[in-house]
Structure 1
Amino acid sequence: MLSVAGSGWLILAFVTIERQRALRKSRMVGKYRRGVVEEEVEEVCIQLVEGQKLKCVGSMVYLGTLLTTKMKLTREINRRIGRAVAVFNDLKNIWKARGILAMTKKRIFKSCVMSVLLYNCETWVYVKNDAERLQRCCNKLVSNIIRWGRNTNQSNNGDVDGEFDWKVGEAEILDWLEGSTVKEIMNQRRLRWFGHALRQPRDAVQREWIESEIESDSKSFRIPAENAAR
């Protein structure tokens, strides 16, 4: 027997799935993500066993990720950027330290800042604008580290220590990140998550969802007979 709280979470998950199906059937998912269509989703009130009603909300935080009924990532990306910048500022003494190697700073940046910026990105349904905003945030933080390092070297040579006197190009930032853009990192994590989900048992929710999506996409995309024979 499930408790009232447990049954409530199951009902909430069911309502969320049904809303996503309704959005897919309307063929307006693309416009939904860009904010072109503001279609209202029908509110559903579920009555529990003890007579309590489950209130439908427009957004909720689940496992550290902000979920919305309109399937948009704008608010979640704002949260990710704000928290990543806060962590970056807390470690400012490390970025400016002279006795810490650049390689060590890279590892700290990837483990402490990038992990916060791209938390749970494996499940994101993002658009081009979302990836560009994350990339701009990452470039700004990395450029600050490079500038502080250059100013430190300049002061060691006897010159005046100035703040942000150097311009940092995108090529140098990409080289500092070892050639990986934010979009490439998100795609790598997504593929890794897909592989993990497909290794689950056949009755697992993750595997059933991925296989159903692949099957629905394969029906709309038909391979010519001569190519299929090969």
Structure 2
Amino acid sequence: MEPHQTPTGSGLRGQHLCLLAHRFPDIQAKCSDLETRAKAAGLSINASKTKAMRIRHSHQSKITICGKIVEYVDSSVYLGTVISANGGVEKVMENRLSKARSAFGRLQRIWRNQQISRKTKLRIFNTCMKSVLLYVSETWLTSQRKIVKLQAFVNKCLRIICGIFWPNRITNNDLWRCTNEAPIQQQIKRKKWKWIGHALRKDRDSIVRMALEWNPQGSRRVGRLKLTWRRSTVRELAEQ
């Protein structure tokens, strides 16, 4: 659940909070407690912007905050990331691709400027485009189909930067070699393991460390184990 707090004083920006709970009474109690503490701090909660999401449950009990019923949604944007009820990353990747395409299009004059060196263009691409495209990609559960879509976008951008247009042809390997680029799958793996190392160096009571090692309790559905980010990471480690 994501309550939106708005300070009562002027000149201050709103704040976003995310509340988590396993049971409906717990989330309702947290909402009531948040409302009480917000009033004590001089903050007001915008109930119309507060959204709720239930994962793997069809029954939706009504949650109230500030006397108003909270709307249920299937997806929500939190800290620049799309959170879906099904837990997938399809919407996250589509959102990242859309933002990267928009950012790349706004710099068309730079890409086509013959007075700017290719080295400078590639530095701009890696700094401004790739950082937008691969934002939080270390937490993505990738598949071959998703990797192909990301790689196709990157290859298209690199060809525009290098001025390679039809009917001129160049293989992807030659394109990566002349632009000093690694395949997108390797870049995502590098970011993931760098983040894992950063998380493991934290204290045991750190939220990041706890989230990395957290093991959800309860029974699972009958059938083959579903591929998760953690299982894919363990598999990559075993293949090393």
- Category of TM-score, reference length = shorter chain: 0.5 to 0.7
TM-score by length of structure 1 reads: 0.66
Shift of 1:45: 3.1
**Residue 118 of structure 2 corresponds to residue 106 of structure 1:** no
Residue identity matched to 1:204 = S
Contact 2:176 2:182 in 1 (8 A): yes
Residues 73 and 130, structure 1, Cα contact 8 Å, conserved in 2:
no
More helix by share: 1
Q: 1:78-97 to 2 correspondence within 5 Å? A: 78-97=94-113
In percent, how many aligned pairs have the same letter? 25
Select 1:175's aligned residue among 174, 177, 191. 177
Give the TM-score of the pair, scaled to structure 2. Answer: 0.63
Q: Could you say which structure has the greater relative contact order, defined with CA pairs below 8 angstroms and 6 or more residues apart?
A: 1
The 8 Å contact of residues 45 and 55 in structure 1, kept in 2 or not, is answered as no
Q: Which consecutive residues of structure 1, in runs of 5 or more, have no partner in the other structure? A: 17-38, 149-162, 222-230
Greater mean deviation of Cα atoms: 46-55 or 91-100 = 46-55
Q: In the aligned structure 1, how far is the partner of 2:59 from the partner of 2:192?
A: 32
1:90–1:61 distance in 2 versus 1, CA, 3 Å: same
Q: 1:112 is matched by which residue type in structure 2?
A: C
Aligned-pair CA distance for 1:14: 2.8
The structure with the greater share of residues assigned to strand is 2
Q: Is the Cα contact below 8 Å between 1:131 and 1:183 reproduced in 2?
A: yes
Q: 1:59 to 1:140 in 2, by over 3 A?
A: same
Deviation track 1:137-172 (CA, whole Å, cap 9, x = no partner) reads: 111111122225xxxxxxxxxxxxxx6441221112
- The runs of 5 or more residues in structure 2 that have no matched partner are 6-15, 24-54, 216-229, 236-240
What RMSD in Å do the two structures reach over aligned CA positions? Answer: 3.0
CA distance in 2, matches of 1:104, 1:165: 26
Correspondence for 1:14: 21
Distance 1:14 1:178, change over 3 A: farther
For 2:171 and 2:147, how far apart are their aligned partners in 1?
A: 19
